[in-house]
Chain A
Amino acid sequence: DTAVSQTPKYLVTQMGNDKSIKCEQNLGHDTMYWYKQDSKKFLKIMFSYNNKELIINETVPNRFSPKSPDKAHLNLHINSLELGDSAVYFCASSSRGRYNSPLHFGNGTRLTVT
């Protein structure tokens, strides 16, 4: 059973297009994240949602808009795609009870902007 699943696995698109990446977790977690891994392999947090509420918003262009329809889903919509958006995007989830549980990551969506 896949714990954190992302779709699509690969996404190739042209500059200026709008695209979405979907993420779903079946772990019963209440917190979800988006991370970006660039060509230099640095993993950086972009957003975090807890119970559908945005709690972490790093310095990310407004073209990126996360949407959490429910606790099990966190989608990432990107407007007006640029070449620099090419990267691997990872979704993750955790539980924020008394203590924060470890994060579980999906296997990533490789976005290529041409």
Chain B
Amino acid sequence: DAKTTQPPSMDCAEGRAANLPCNHSTISGNEYVYWYRQIHSQGPQYIIHGLKNNETNEMASLIITEDRKSSTLILPHATLRDTAVYYCIVRSLTGANSKLTFGKGITLSVRP
């Protein structure tokens, strides 16, 4: 079972920042927060992951609250190609049985 909750959908205007929230109140100390996205008819694509510090890469920024019970994925300048289902997932970074368990995700629609 997924250990995260996300709103079912949101939209934003092209060129604006998209802030996607995620709650993971039962996250364990050894679990990381991962974000993936799935563009229609494609395989899931890794975006970013983090433990407790904020992270940034060429795709997005990840802001994790100090208590680690929630996080926000930020797409700084959304484009139409960012329209996709975004999955927030908690996963242990170690262990042979560490699984990536997908929930329902949040559907982001970027409007022109």
Q: Which residues of chain A have a CB within 8 Å of any CB of chain B?
A: 4, 33, 35, 41-45, 48, 50, 55-56, 90, 92, 96, 98-100, 102-108
Q: Which residues of chain B have a CB within 8 Å of any CB of chain A?
A: 34, 38, 41-46, 49, 85, 87, 91-102, 104
| Given contact pairs A41-B85, A55-B96, A96-B96, A106 touches B102 in the complex (Cβ within 8 A) | no
Q: B34 — which chain A residues lie within 8 A by C-beta?
A: 102
A48–B99 CB distance below 8 A: yes
Nearest-neighbor residue (CB-CB) of A4 within chain B = B43
Q: Is the interface of B mostly helix, strand, loop or mixed?
A: loop
Nearest-neighbor residue (CB-CB) of A53 within chain B = B96
How far in angstroms is the closest Cβ of chain A from B42? Answer: 6
Nearest-neighbor residue (CB-CB) of A99 within chain B = B93
